[in-house]
């Protein structure tokens, strides 16, 4: 504001000075104009006076010209009677001349009146010389008027010289004033700009320093004064500091009270930051871990897995999960589930390690139980089912009809019990899917062929035709697991398809995906059942009312297999009738290992 107001005030002052100077010049011009008007009147008087004197000096009077002579005298009187001394010039010499001219005018008028009177008395008569006007009077009058002419010329010459000098003086003063005003305004503006720039740069330096302090997490100085943009920016920085301080306090509270170990690694897998949980869970303090490679506390059998996952994450970006074993400071070895995100901008890993040692022990116990159940229950069940089935055979002799009917029920229940054992084993396979999957390049068309061949007998029993795909694509995955997933989809399609219908297998290839789909002509899926199709132990309304029973794990297993291959499983209604289930998998790239 000052940078604008001060130059404006200076310009206004100089405009006022120029205006005053021009006003004085105007007054001087008006004075000069009045003096010029006075000179013009004096010249007029001089002309009239000389004409009157020359007329009076002509003493040869012709009688036939009396009227003309009288008219001439009257014209001279009229010219001399016109007021011409009303102008009041401020030039002193000119005022003196005008006073003297006034006296001469009055005398000349009186003289002309006397001449006119004498002329009227002698009109028509010869007038002898000296009769109208004595020569002495004419000479005296002429001597009074003649010096006035010289004085008028002298005053006029002086005024011309004075006017030229005044004009030069005015031009010089205006030029000097304008030049001085411009220089003064420039100097003042330069000083103001220098002072303002100095203050502005100092305040800007303070704001920049606060920005660096804020980035470093240090305390900021008090706020700067003012209501301008810099002061507003300074207040924003102070507000940001308060919010960051609050966020850091919450962050530290989370890090210090979290049960999971939260820490950050650099590109060389060295600790940058650690939470307080590292001391509680690993028994390493923060000073012991900072700068230390994380591989030094990872058990030897899981070091390669850890390095592999972290290296791949740095190349691909995103998130990943994996398990490894950590050697704690007290000598204990614990299993942790790592969830890691990589920041390409900072080249840092943000890690959360959750202790799953107890969960791993539970899994091992469950695995032992399932193994025991598989080995200890399946064999006796198979033997019992075979024995009961042979007794319930219609060809068996000496078996009453009632006993044969009860044996058939027992055989059915033994079969269902055997299926439950198999489903428990499938559930375990579902939960361990990501740990034992092995990927190789495989043909999508070959997977469809193997699945169809496995269920060929089941389809033939229902007079259902399986149509193989025409297109092929290469998938990088586990062939056994992919065939298992397709068998689950194909078996469901066969079970819920009407007799003499068609189940179609297809392979669709896009830019980066391969979609394996199974389409049937069955009753379809209601909208209410579509949301939970791939959940564990979920069955549709059609399946619950059907005579065909299942465990509700088939589609969940399909989805897990697809996700283990970085893909997905889904459902879409058929255009006319039936259902279409599909598995979307990444297309094998050229750099995949063959």
Angle (deg, nearest 10), helices 2-57 and 135-215: 170
Q: What is the mean pLDDT of residues 361-383?
A: 71
User: Which sign does the torsion angle of CA 382, 383, 385, 390 carry?
Assistant: positive
Q: How confident is the model at residue 33 (pLDDT cuts 50, 70, 90)?
A: low
**Measured between alpha carbons, how far is 594 from 577 in angstroms, rounded to an integer?**
41
566: left (phi over 0), alpha (psi -120 to 50) or beta: left
In the chain, % of residues over pLDDT 90 = 19
Q: How confident is the model at residue 582 (pLDDT cuts 50, 70, 90)?
A: very high
- The label of the residue with tokens 């003289």 reads 111
Range picked from 163-172, 265-274, 368-377, 565-574 for highest mean pLDDT:
265-274
Strands, sheet with 579-586, edge to edge from the N-terminal-most edge strand: 465-467, 502-509, 513-519, 579-586, 568-573
Range picked from 4-18, 38-52, 126-140, 143-157 for highest mean pLDDT:
4-18
In the chain, % of residues over pLDDT 70 = 67
Write the pLDDT tens digit of every residue in 413-466: 777 677 666 666 665 655 665 555 678 889 999 999 999 998 888 888 888 999
Lowest-confidence region among 92-101, 126-135, 332-341? 126-135
Specify the pTM: 0.42
Q: What is the mean pLDDT of residues 539-553?
A: 56
Backbone angles phi, psi at 393, to 5 degrees: -65, 130
Q: What is the mean pLDDT of residues 336-365?
A: 89
pLDDT for 535 equals 67
Q: What is the mean pLDDT of the chain?
A: 77
For residue 348, the cross-strand partners are: 343
**Measured between alpha carbons, how far is 170 from 183 in angstroms, rounded to an integer?**
20
- List C-alpha distances in Å: 109 to 132, 243, 509: 15, 107, 132
For residue 1, pLDDT beyond 60: no
Angle (deg, nearest 10), helices 135-215 and 92-121: 150
How many alpha carbons lie under 13 Å from residue 554 in its C-beta half-sphere? Answer: 19
Q: How many angstroms separate the most distant Cα atoms in the chain?
A: 206
**Measured between alpha carbons, how far is 14 from 7 in angstroms, rounded to an integer?**
11
In this structure, the strands spanning 579-586 and 568-573 are: antiparallel
List b or e across 556-585, with b for residues whose CB sees 16 or more CB atoms inside 10 angstroms: bbbbbbbebbebebbbeeeeeebbbbbbbb
pLDDT for 594 equals 46
Quickly list H helices, 538-584.
541-545, 554-564
Q: How confident is the model at residue 406 (pLDDT cuts 50, 70, 90)?
A: confident
87 or 438, greater pLDDT: 438
For residue 349, pLDDT beyond 80: yes
Write the pLDDT tens digit of every residue in 227-262: 777 788 888 888 888 887 777 777 666 666 677 899
Lowest-confidence region among 12-16, 108-112, 156-160, 181-185? 156-160
Q: What is the mean pLDDT of residues 128-144?
A: 60
For residue 591, pLDDT beyond 60: no
For residue 60, pLDDT beyond 50: no
Collapsing DSSP states into helix, strand and coil, what is residue 491?
helix
Contact 356, 323 (CB under 8 A): yes
pLDDT for 53 equals 65
């Amino acid at each position: 504001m000052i940078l604008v107001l001060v130059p404006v005030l200076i310009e206004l002052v100089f405009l006022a000075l120029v205006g005053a100077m021009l006003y004085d010049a105007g007054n001087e011009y008006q004075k000069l104009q009045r003096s010029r008007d006075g000179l013009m009147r004096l010249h007029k008087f001089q002309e009239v006076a000389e004409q009157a004197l020359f007329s009076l000096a002509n003493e040869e009077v012709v009688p036939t010209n009396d009227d003309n002579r009288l008219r001439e005298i009257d014209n001279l009187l009229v010219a001399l009677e016109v007021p011409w001394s009303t102008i009041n010039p401020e030039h002193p010499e000119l005022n003196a001349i005008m006073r003297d001219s006034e006296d001469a005018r009055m005398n000349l008028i009186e003289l002309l009146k006397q001449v006119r009177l004498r002329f009227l008395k002698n009109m028509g008569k010869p007038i002898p010389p000296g009769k109208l006007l004595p020569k002495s009077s004419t000479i005296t009058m002429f001597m009074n008027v003649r010096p006035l002419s010289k004085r008028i010329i002298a005053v006029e010459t002086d005024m011309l010289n004075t006017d030229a000098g005044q004009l030069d003086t005015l031009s010089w003063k205006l030029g000097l004033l304008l030049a001085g005003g411009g220089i003064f305004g420039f100097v003042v503006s330069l000083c103001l700009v220098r002072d303002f720039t100095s203050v502005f740069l100092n305040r800007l330096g303070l704001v920049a320093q606060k920005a660096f302090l804020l980035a470093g997490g240090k305390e900021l100085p008090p706020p700067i004064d003012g209501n301008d943009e810099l002061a507003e920016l300074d207040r924003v920085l102070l507000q940001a500091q308060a919010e960051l301080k609050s966020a850091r306090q919450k962050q530290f509270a989370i890090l210090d009270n979290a049960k999971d170990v939260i820490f950050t690694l650099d590109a060389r897998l060295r600790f940058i930051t650690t939470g307080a949980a590292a001391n509680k869970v690993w028994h390493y303090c923060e000073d012991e871990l900072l700068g230390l490679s994380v591989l030094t506390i990872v058990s030897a059998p899981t070091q390669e897995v850890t390095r592999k996952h972290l290296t791949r994450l740095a190349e691909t970006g995103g998130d990943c999960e994996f398990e490894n074993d950590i050697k704690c400071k007290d000598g204990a070895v614990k299993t942790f589930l790592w969830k890691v995100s990589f920041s390409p901008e900072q080249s840092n890993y943000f890690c959360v390690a959750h202790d799953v040692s107890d969960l791993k022990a539970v899994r091992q116990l469950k695995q032992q139980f399932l193994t025991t159940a598989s080995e200890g229950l399946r064999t006796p069940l198979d033997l019992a089912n075979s024995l009961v089935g042979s007794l319930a055979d219609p060809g068996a002799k000496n078996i009453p009809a009632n006993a044969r009917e009860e044996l058939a029920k027992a055989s059915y229940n033994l079969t269902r019990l055997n299926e439950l054992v198999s489903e428990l084993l499938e559930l375990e396979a579902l939960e361990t899917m990501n740990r034992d999957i092995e990927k190789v390049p495989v043909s999508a068309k070959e997977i469809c062929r193997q699945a169809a061949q496995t269920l060929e007998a089941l389809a033939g029993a229902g007079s259902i035709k399986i149509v193989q795909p025409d297109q092929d694509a290469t998938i990088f995955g586990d062939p056994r697991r992919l065939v298992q997933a397709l068998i689950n989809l194909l078996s469901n399609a066969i079970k819920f398809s009407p007799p003499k219908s068609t189940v179609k297998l297809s392979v669709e290839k896009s830019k980066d995906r391969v979609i394996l789909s199974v389409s049937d002509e069955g009753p379809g899926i209601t909208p209410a059942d579509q949301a939970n199709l791939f959940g564990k132990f979920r069955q549709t309304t059609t399946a619950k009312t059907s005579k065909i029973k299942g465990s509700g794990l088939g589609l969940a297993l399909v989805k897990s297999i697809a996700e283990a291959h970085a893909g997905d499983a889904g459902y879409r209604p058929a255009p006319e009738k039936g259902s279409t289930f599909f598995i979307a998998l990444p297309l094998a790239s050229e750099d995949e290992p063959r």
